[in-house]
Amino acid sequence: MAKMDAGIESVRYPEVLDSALCFGWIDGRRDALDERYFLQRFTPRRPRSRWSRINRDKAERLIAEGRMRPAGLAEVEQAKADGRWEAAYEGQRSITVPEDLQRELDARPDAKAFFAGLTSQNRYAILYRLQDAKRPETRARRLAQFVAMLEAGERIYT
């Protein structure tokens, strides 16, 4: 696909993503090809793969518009049946600090200050991993690990 500022007529990423979702596919890794184009990988959705809230909302819109195809509808129905639809994860722009982490940060000023200074990538890495925990024990363990890491001034990505 052509980059936005390349001045080349091309399909746009949102259009292609909508089409992929209609057929049960998902976007993957993006790589630069050159100064004018990038490569975007699309693959069939794997069984049990998680849905982002963004793509879940897009799929709902595509269904309402009558654009979703049988393969895409099957992916949606399977996700609804096994709980992945309701468990869709928040994206980097919309995720918020959960109450349990906020309580821990409020009790530890050094960890709170370090967390506030993290890049959005590092903040999201922590918040996503907490959100992704399926069992309460896993979440509690991760929460303790992340708070200790923040108190020590450590980040996930350097």
- Give DSSP secondary structure letters for 64-109: HTT---HHHHHHHHHHHHHTTTTTPBPPTTT----HHHHHHHHH-H
Does the structure show a pLDDT above 80 at 158? no
Predicted confidence (pLDDT) per residue in 96-135, tens digit:
999 999 999 999 999 999 999 999 999 999 999 999 998 9
Mean of pLDDT over the chain: 95
138-149 average pLDDT score:
98
Q: What pTM does this model have?
A: 0.80
Eight-class DSSP state of 145: H
Burial tier of 10 (Cβ tally within 10 Å: 0-12, 13-18, 19+)? middle
Predicted confidence (pLDDT) per residue in 51-68, tens digit:
999 999 999 999 999 999
| The predicted structure's pLDDT at residue 33 | 94
Burial tier of 98 (Cβ tally within 10 Å: 0-12, 13-18, 19+)? middle
64 phi and psi, to 5 degrees?
A: -60, -35
